[in-house]
Amino acid sequence: MTGGFRLDLHVHTTYSPDSRLPLDAVVERLGTEGLQGFALTDHNTVAGHAALRTLADKFPQYRFIPGIEVSTYEGHLLVFGVAEVPPLHRPVEETVEWVEAHGGVAVPAHPARHSHGIGRRVASRLKVPALETVNGHNSEVANARAALIAASRTLGETGGSDAHDAAGVGRGYTVFPEGVETVDQMLEELRRRHTRSGGVSLRFGEMARLAIRTVTLRVTRGFRPI
């Protein structure tokens, strides 16, 4: 697979309780990062989807995928192409079934991350078409472990920045095949396991800064879990 569209499939904006990134600021970063679009994956909400549709009308040169990062019992799940939030904090298998029944695609977010990942054991058996194998907020080890699981199961790969600020946009991205342009086509390529990931992992110094930022945000929201 050469060329194709590059989309950041894991972006959080001000509709997430832990992000201060405006939607408009994400669009401003797309050209700089060589991206043709992104997926809006705010935590447990579709509140930003209406604004995303407005952006799609305003910027027809880009592709915008409506998504959610859903909290399941085992960990976080990226969901693409649904108009409502799945039932929260349910077993991940049950959530995947709900997503498929509603015409969407489910991909475990940062599955090998200690915090909020579903874990390697579940990732090794869960019936999904792809795993997030590059997450811009993951260590290199966590991303490599996810990639090994995906390869062993011949699954597709997705990449996303997990951005919560403008500087993070594009650290991870998903490459779709040539000729794929519409959101429906992209969802189908995810189902067919035809995507691959790219991007960079966190270095040690970046991990330390992220840990400080995470603690600060948890204090701000009163340690409420996401």
pLDDT in the model for residue 160 = 98
59: its two tokens: 């910027």
Q: Residue 135: its pLDDT value, please?
A: 98
pLDDT at 224: 61
* Residues 17-76 pLDDT 10s: 999 999 999 999 999 999 999 999 999 999 999 999 999 999 999 999 999 999 999 999
Q: What is the mean pLDDT of residues 184-205?
A: 93
pLDDT of the residue at 4:
81
**Residue 160 tokens, joined:** 């996303």
Range 6-220 has CATH code 1.10.150.170: no
Q: What is the pLDDT of residue 103?
A: 98
Residue 112 in contact with residue 126, Cβ under 8 Å? no
118-172 pLDDT per residue, tens? 999 999 999 999 999 999 999 999 999 999 999 999 999 999 999 999 999 999 9
Question: 3 pLDDT band (50/70/90 cuts)?
Answer: low
Tell me the two tokens of residue 111: 């599955």
When pLDDT is cut at 50, 70 and 90, the band that residue 1 belongs to is very low
Q: What is the largest CA-CA distance in the chain?
A: 46
Q: Is the pLDDT of residue 218 over 70?
A: no
pLDDT of 2 reads: 47
Q: Which class for 214: exposed (0-12), middle (13-18), buried (19 or more C-beta within 10 A)?
A: middle
